[in-house]
Structure 1
Amino acid sequence: MAEHSEAPHVVGGVDTHKDLHVAAVVDHQDRVLGVESFPTTRHGYRLMLTWMRSFDDLQRIGIECSGSYGAGLLRYMQAAGVEVLEVTAPDKHDRRRRGKNDHFDAESAAHAAFAERHTVTPRSRDGMVESLRVLRVCRKTAVQARRIALQMIQTTIVCAPDRLRDPLRQMTRMQLIRTLAAWRPDLTAYREVEEAYRISLKSLARRYLELHDEIADLDDMIKAIVKDLAPVLLEQTAIGLNSAAQLLLTAGDNPERLRPEASFAALCGVSPVPASSGKTVRHRLNRGGDRLNRGGDRAANSAIHIIAIGRLRLDPRTQAYVAKRIAAGNSKLEAIRSLKRYIAREVFGIIIRRQNQINQSQIAA
């Protein structure tokens, strides 16, 4: 192993930006060999990889922001068979000492990748989980836009002339939307207040209906992907479509990077950490995530909390478990904390087994 570690090689680091990536290379003794800039195009990625390999055997690359500006570079390097690490945080001491510019950031990424500190294995972004993520982001913005459209309809009706407002008072939401969408205002009379209100309300109602249909279509696609990725997950008590989708996103297309499963629990913010003092011996939830995500995944934590509360209401085994923990002297919150940890273990096991099945079927094909 010592001879292998001393073999000549180089390690790359990349500071990513929208239009230009800055790359640095260090040798097997962590000395900077060069810094260069490349465009954020496929041709630029190819030039970067060729440039890095021109120094020596390229062992790995550290990339900042692999989930945003560096996503394209990540996919290219993974397709080229290069080991990629995501650099999660710059060295604050080094930044205070040297200052900040793109060259320093690229060198810091290379040093971090060389030492494998402040680095994690990034999510791969070439599978169905990435498709699920993109569709859920689109759905979230559509839901927000639909909510805004409804709020604007309600606000506009409050200010509308009485002749328009009075017939709309007793309608349900969808009755109101469909009534407004069916209006036929005089588009040539937009200078008149009443017609301007009619045009505005009709436009907002049609916008709401279009977004409503868009969200329904996205829901069908998201449900189909979740069923393909983890049908067993949806069969478990109190695990709904949204919770299952979020936990799949947290695990990613390559959940094996989170082994052991305690890393997944820590990422979800449900791993226990000691919180004892004096004669009191207890644990609390680790809200800070782990080395894979310093801030933790709040959405995953919320999904596991929803599952836990649902099982407390619906699952006799969960009710018996919590009652047992309370009888043993734990508070209800501590019992729920333990329950969340078990849910994280259960979910991760299901996701890993399904991922192994998908990988085996791909190999067989």
Structure 2
Amino acid sequence: MDRERPLPCVVGGVDTHKDLHVAAVVDDHDHLLDTQSFATTRHGYRQMIAWMRSFGNLRRIGIECTGSYGAGLLRFVQKAGIEVLEVTTPDKSDRRRRGKNDDLDAQNAAHAAFAGKRTMTPRSRDGMVEALRVLMACRKTAVSARRVALQMIQNTIVCAPDGLRDDLRKMTRMQLVRTLAAWRPDLTGYREISTAYRIALKSLARRYLELHDEIADLDTMITAIVADLAPDLTARNSIGHIGAAQLLLTAGDNPERMKAEASFAALCGVSPVPASSGKTIRHRLNRGGDRRANSALHIIAIGRLRTDQRTKDYVARRIAAGHSKLEALRSLKRDIAREVFGVIMRRQKEVNQGQIAA
């Protein structure tokens, strides 16, 4: 009796969109087998996986934009136990030569996943860090809106009639906002300039206070999540809950995908980039990476430079060695990234061991 031949291995690629995902499959020689579109629903995801597996043993799938349009598909594929790679933007010269459409993008994703080029291990999006990300995104927009409301208040007061402006210009920020919010202007007199200004200022002040309360509620929830995820992180000098939250977001739910702390430093944009030529040997500032994580590290570095004597001595030694203060600060941020990564990985190891014991 003849033995059954093993199924050939295939690799999938997906170009993600809001309503439809375009998928492609290549064989074990990287030859295109087919391209198909599927709805961005659980049923559509199920159909996509079944369609890919109909060609053979599905080894892995390369997905574009796992942080946005591909987030739902990423969670579904990971639960199915299939290896997932995030595919980055294709080579610009190749795109100019071949053109662009959804089918080509899906095929490029499949080819990249097959070769392991332009790929990375995506962040998991099914843990507490994902909950933290949603709350932090909401907080960011609320902070921006509150800032705009305050600027509008100040600009409106500058243009207000003298009788209003003279009473308000000497108040502190919160005194001003609470005073304006307590006003009770006659709403029927909005055609008069003075009344219109009072109505506008009251509206802006109430908006500011509502956003202020919203941010305070979000801060309470973010603080609780950070305390659960990495209590040792906020115990370190000058690391607050918002900065710790941003660094946890950058590391993700699966920080073990980064093989070394140098990967985390590069992800935060604090790893030195070689810029040597000829007899000149130097490194330049890394302008890549997550700039919000870079900002969090910068705030931590400035806080330690003001309060920690060891940090002051370190920067003084770097300056005495011929480095500028900015270069010394960059080195300090690199050291802080190393420290933060060690704390996050130790906490991740404790969580994994606890889950195994349970």
User: Which SS does the other structure have where 2:339 is aligned?
Assistant: helix
- 5 Å matches for 1:1-365? 8-277=8-277, 281-287=281-287, 295-365=288-358
Q: Distance in 2 between matches of 1:315 and 1:300?
A: 21
Q: Deviation per CA, 1:85-112: give whole Å up to 9, x if none.
A: 1101213333222211100110000000
7-16 or 103-112: bigger deviation: 7-16
The residue type paired with residue 229 of structure 2 is L
- Cα distance change on mapping 1:213 and 1:30 into 2, 3 Å: same
Q: Distance in 1 between matches of 2:149 and 2:156?
A: 10
36-45 or 196-205: bigger deviation: 196-205
The residue type paired with residue 125 of structure 2 is R
Q: Deviation per CA, 1:33-54: give whole Å up to 9, x if none.
A: 1101111111111111111111
276-285 or 133-142: bigger deviation: 276-285
Question: TM-score if structure 1 supplies the norm length?
Answer: 0.90
94-103 or 331-340: bigger deviation: 331-340
User: Which SS does the other structure have where 1:259 is aligned?
Assistant: coil
- Cα distance change on mapping 1:336 and 1:206 into 2, 3 Å: closer
278-287 or 309-318: bigger deviation: 278-287
User: Which SS does the other structure have where 1:179 is aligned?
Assistant: helix
**Residue 201 of structure 1: CA displacement?**
1.7
Q: Distance in 1 between matches of 2:284 and 2:96?
A: 34
- Cα distance change on mapping 1:330 and 1:87 into 2, 3 Å: same
The residue type paired with residue 296 of structure 1 is G
- Cα distance change on mapping 1:101 and 1:161 into 2, 3 Å: same
Q: How many residues align?
A: 353
1:291 paired residue number: none
**Residue 276 of structure 1: CA displacement?**
4.1
- Cα distance change on mapping 1:162 and 1:43 into 2, 3 Å: same
155-164 or 86-95: bigger deviation: 155-164
352-361 or 184-193: bigger deviation: 184-193
1:3 paired residue number: none
The residue type paired with residue 226 of structure 1 is V
Q: Distance in 2 between matches of 1:333 and 1:167?
A: 44
**Residue 241 of structure 1: CA displacement?**
2.2
Q: Distance in 2 between matches of 1:59 and 1:284?
A: 40
272-281 or 22-31: bigger deviation: 272-281
User: Which SS does the other structure have where 1:63 is aligned?
Assistant: strand
The residue type paired with residue 338 of structure 1 is S
- Cα distance change on mapping 1:93 and 1:157 into 2, 3 Å: closer
Contact kept in structure 1, 2:13 and 2:107, CA below 8 Å = yes
Q: Distance in 2 between matches of 1:277 and 1:111?
A: 35
Q: Distance in 2 between matches of 1:350 and 1:72?
A: 30
**Residue 354 of structure 1: CA displacement?**
0.5
300-309 or 72-81: bigger deviation: 300-309
Q: Distance in 1 between matches of 2:26 and 2:213?
A: 53
Q: Deviation per CA, 1:133-176: give whole Å up to 9, x if none.
A: 11111111111111111122222223333333332232222122
228-237 or 154-163: bigger deviation: 154-163
The residue type paired with residue 61 of structure 1 is I
Contact kept in structure 1, 2:7 and 2:56, CA below 8 Å = no
Contact kept in structure 1, 2:7 and 2:57, CA below 8 Å = no
**Residue 235 of structure 1: CA displacement?**
1.3
Q: Distance in 1 between matches of 2:180 and 2:252?
A: 43
Runs of 5+ consecutive residues of structure 2 not aligned to the other structure: 1-5
Q: Distance in 1 between matches of 2:307 and 2:166?
A: 45
Question: RMSD across aligned C-alpha pairs, in angstroms?
Answer: 2.0
- Cα distance change on mapping 1:210 and 1:281 into 2, 3 Å: same
User: Which SS does the other structure have where 2:337 is aligned?
Assistant: helix
Q: Deviation per CA, 1:165-206: give whole Å up to 9, x if none.
A: 332232222122112211222223333333322222211111
- Cα distance change on mapping 1:159 and 1:322 into 2, 3 Å: closer
Q: Distance in 1 between matches of 2:60 and 2:294?
A: 32
155-164 or 116-125: bigger deviation: 155-164
User: Which SS does the other structure have where 1:242 is aligned?
Assistant: helix
Q: Distance in 2 between matches of 1:318 and 1:161?
A: 51
Q: Distance in 2 between matches of 1:93 and 1:157?
A: 54
User: Which SS does the other structure have where 1:22 is aligned?
Assistant: strand
Q: Distance in 1 between matches of 2:215 and 2:283?
A: 41
Identity %: 78
184-193 or 341-350: bigger deviation: 184-193
User: Which SS does the other structure have where 2:23 is aligned?
Assistant: strand
Q: Deviation per CA, 1:50-78: give whole Å up to 9, x if none.
A: 11111111111111111111111111111
353-362 or 29-38: bigger deviation: 353-362
Runs of 5+ consecutive residues of structure 1 not aligned to the other structure: 1-5, 288-294
